[in-house]
Amino acid sequence: MTVFWRFVVAMVVAVIAIFLGVILGDYGPWYLSWLLGTGFMILVAATGAVLFEEQSDKQQQKKTGTYQNRISEKQRPLEY
Model pLDDT for residues 21-56, shown as the tens digit of each residue: 777 777 767 777 888 899 999 999 999 999 999 898
Please give the backbone phi and psi of residue 20, each rounded to the nearest 5 degrees, phi first.
Answer: -65, -35
Ranges of each domain in the chain = 28-59
CB 58 within 8 A of CB 67: yes
Q: Which of 11, 20, 1, 9 is CA-nearest to residue 42?
A: 11
Q: What is the pLDDT of residues 55-78, one digit of tens each?
A: 988 888 888 877 776 665 677 777
| Single-letter residue type at 33 | S
pTM above 0.75, yes or no: no
CA atoms of 3 and 18, how far apart (whole Å): 22
CB 75 within 8 A of CB 69: no
